[in-house]
């Protein structure tokens, strides 16, 4: 991009404007952030309002910048500094390439002096981002790292056998090592973080990686003020990939498309595209970040899938759209490809856009917001009002079948109650029996929900009917 195009572009992840070099340290921070994140250009001599102020004594300023960069930044970095002329005024362009870091300000040290680019702002990098830079420098990914205390017994082996059998694959310990699910460590094979994310026993995964899961919610309007339905998939991300589309279908509507004498029911959201985006979200999620997880949010006018983590260092949104792929989680990606869940790397964006274009859906929108990637999927133009399937007038066949045990449970939960209160009210003493035959089936079918979904084991946890649960009870009463 030439200088005239740059001057008409808004500041962003790879572009910043400065009037002059009076805030020299801030310029050094931005250079560090560009080098660490995805490269970028700093233009000196442009006002915030877009006017060209120019740079007096550009050769002297260029020398000042070169000296400051050499004295201030480690490891050594050599950006290209160019003097250009626009409207008879001199400007300085500092072009910074991305290099494996972390780069840092010497005056602040190699921990506090590391900066990254978040949107159009320069931010101090936290320890998780610094660790990712170091792993990238060593050609390692987070999910390849060993969990030294976990042997193969920490994996859900029956689930592994089931998944591989369904994919027509045999599985044995050597194959688990080949995929990176297990890795040699101190003379024995231990589970990797990737193995734990994919196949760890639920209680162990919850203890070590509690955010390696997918949460779904349906809201009543265009914001998050009021829930209609929610569901947390605390099992493997492989299970979430299969079950999330069902949640989306239940909480959106089909609309009729009539051609001649033929009627076809079309989903409001493009199923193939949504699944592709979901797969990419779990593959490229930064599981090292705590307190963040893959989120699926359905609003009255859109669907959003949000995944923790910046684009991999060195990548921009334009790179993603051209098909460039940098795998953040090699174990997860390779296993999903082996199982046939994931297609060729780097082709997801094009397949999603092509499918939407071919089937009359608006193209989804990719956004990098802070330390997350959000994809916004818009409904088909003919899907006017996205009434959830759970309303009685929509599709009654979507109402789930319910066992007698769950019927008793739902009838008990007319208000929010704790597990102990529900058990006591129902006269059930055995906790394990209650969980397996009553509570878990109701949660799985989204008839019951936690009042504190982010903290499943909270002593304040209670359970209440979802909209679907209330609808089911209402239908039963009407039949009676």
* Residue 436: per-residue pLDDT: 82
* Residue 442: per-residue pLDDT: 85
Residues 360 and 227 in one domain: yes
CATH number at residue 71: 3.30.950.30
Q: Evaluate if residue 386 carries a pLDDT over 50.
A: no
Q: Give residue 427's pLDDT band: very low, low, confident or very high (50, 70, 90).
A: confident
> 277: exposed, middle or buried (C-beta count within 10 Å: 0-12, 13-18, 19+)?
buried
Cα separations in angstroms, 78 against 71, 180, 424: 12, 37, 70
Residues 199 and 238 in one domain: no
27, part of any domain: yes
Three-state SS at 308: strand
Q: Evaluate if residue 271 carries a pLDDT over 70.
A: yes
* Residue 397: per-residue pLDDT: 35
Three-state SS at 71: helix
* Residue 387: per-residue pLDDT: 43
Average pLDDT, the chain: 88
Q: Which of 67-71, 338-342, 468-472 has the highest mean pLDDT?
A: 67-71
* Residue 393: per-residue pLDDT: 32
Residues 439 and 314 in one domain: no
What φ, ψ does residue 10 adopt, rounded to 5°? -75, 150
Consecutive H or E run containing 368? strand 365-369
Consecutive H or E run containing 195? helix 193-199
Domain boundary residue among 176, 208, 240? 208
Q: Give residue 267's pLDDT band: very low, low, confident or very high (50, 70, 90).
A: confident
Residues 301 and 279 in one domain: yes
Residues 410 and 268 in one domain: no
pTM for this model (two decimals): 0.74
Nearest to 45 by CA among 85, 97, 15: 85
* Residue 404: per-residue pLDDT: 77
Q: Give residue 478's pLDDT band: very low, low, confident or very high (50, 70, 90).
A: low
Q: Evaluate if residue 69 carries a pLDDT over 70.
A: yes
Residues 32 and 161 in one domain: no
Between 156-160, 280-284, 296-300, 447-451, the lowest mean confidence (pLDDT) is in: 447-451
CATH number at residue 369: 3.30.565.60
* Residue 391: per-residue pLDDT: 38
Cα separations in angstroms, 174 against 150, 183, 333, 365: 17, 10, 18, 41
310, part of any domain: yes
Residues 292 and 366 in one domain: yes
* Residue 426: per-residue pLDDT: 87
Domain enclosing residue 106, as ranges = 3-125
* Pairing mode of beta strands 104-105, 182-185: unpaired
Q: How far is CA 91 from the centre of its chain?
A: 39
Residues 180 and 44 in one domain: no
356, part of any domain: yes
Three-state SS at 254: strand
71, part of any domain: yes
What φ, ψ does residue 343 adopt, rounded to 5°? -90, -155
Distance CA 311, CA 372 (A): 8
- In this predicted model, what pLDDT tens digit does every residue of 101-129 receive, in sequence order? 899 999 999 999 999 999 889 999 999 99
DSSP 137-160: HTT--GGGSB-TT--GGGB-HHHH
Nearest to 287 by CA among 433, 73, 128, 406: 128
Distance CA 264, CA 278 (A): 25
Nearest to 270 by CA among 297, 294, 248, 238: 248
Residues 428 and 446 in one domain: yes
Residues 35 and 87 in one domain: yes
The alpha carbon torsion through 312, 315, 320, 321 (nearest 10 deg) reads 160
Structural domain tally of the chain? 4
Q: Evaluate if residue 222 carries a pLDDT over 60.
A: yes
Three-state SS at 76: coil
Distance CA 178, CA 338 (A): 11
Distance CA 236, CA 133 (A): 27
* Cβ neighbours, 10 Å, residue 337: 15
Nearest to 44 by CA among 35, 36, 53: 53
388, part of any domain: no
Nearest to 192 by CA among 287, 113, 274: 287
Q: Evaluate if residue 424 carries a pLDDT over 60.
A: yes
Distance CA 7, CA 17 (A): 9
């Amino acid at each position: 991009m030439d200088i005239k195009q740059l001057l008409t572009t808004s500041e962003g992840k790879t572009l910043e404007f400065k009037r002059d070099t009076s805030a020299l340290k801030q310029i050094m921070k931005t250079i560090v952030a560009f080098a660490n994140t995805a490269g970028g250009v700093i233009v000196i001599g442009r006002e915030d309002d877009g006017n060209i102020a120019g740079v007096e004594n550009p050769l002297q300023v260029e020398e000042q910048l070169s000296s400051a960069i050499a004295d201030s930044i480690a490891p050594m970095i050599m950006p290209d500094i160019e003097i250009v002329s626009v409207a008879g005024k001199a400007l300085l362009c500092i072009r910074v390439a991305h290099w494996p870091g972390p780069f840092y300000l010497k005056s602040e040290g190699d921990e506090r002096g590391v900066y990254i680019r978040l949107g159009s702002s320069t931010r101090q990098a936290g320890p998780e981002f610094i660790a990712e830079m170091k792993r990238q420098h060593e050609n390692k990914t987070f999910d390849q790292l060993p969990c030294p205390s976990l042997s193969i017994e920490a994996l859900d082996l029956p689930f592994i056998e089931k998944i591989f059998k369904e994919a027509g694959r045999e599985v044995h310990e050597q194959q688990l090592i080949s995929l990176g699910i297990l890795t040699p460590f101190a003379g024995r094979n231990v589970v990797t973080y990737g193995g734990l994310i994919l196949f760890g026993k639920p209680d162990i995964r919850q203890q070590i990686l509690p955010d390696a899961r997918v949460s779904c919610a349906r809201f009543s309007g265009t914001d998050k003020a009021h829930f209609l339905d929610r569901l947390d998939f605390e099992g493997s991300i492989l299970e979430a990939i299969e079950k999330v589309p069902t949640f989306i279908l239940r909480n959106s509507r089909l609309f009729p498309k009539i051609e001649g004498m033929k009627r076809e029911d079309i989903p409001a959201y493009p199923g193939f595209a949504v699944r592709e985006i979901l797969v990419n979200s779990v593959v490229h999620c930064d599981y090292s970040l705590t307190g963040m997880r893959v989120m699926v949010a359905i609003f009255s006018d859109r669907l959003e899938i949000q995944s923790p983590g910046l684009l991999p260092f060195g990548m921009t949104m334009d790179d993603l759209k051209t098909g460039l792929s940098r795998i953040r989680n090699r174990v997860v990606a390779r296993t999903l490809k082996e199982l046939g869940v994931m297609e060729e790397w780097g082709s997801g964006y094009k397949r999603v856009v092509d499918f939407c274009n071919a089937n009359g859906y608006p193209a989804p929108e990719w956004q990098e917001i802070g330390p997350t990637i959000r994809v916004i999927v818009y409904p088909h133009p003919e899907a006017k009002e996205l009434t959830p399937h759970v309303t009685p007038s929509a599709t009654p066949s979507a109402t789930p079948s319910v066992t007698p045990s769950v019927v008793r449970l739902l009838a008990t939960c007319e208000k929010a109650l704790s597990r102990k209160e529900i058990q006591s009210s129902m006269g059930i003493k055995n906790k394990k029996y209650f969980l397996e035959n009553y509570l878990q089936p109701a949660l799985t079918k989204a008839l019951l929900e936690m009042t504190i979904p982010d903290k499943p084991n909270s002593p304040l946890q209670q359970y209440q009917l979802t909209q679907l649960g209330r609808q089911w009870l209402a239908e039963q009463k009407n039949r009676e």
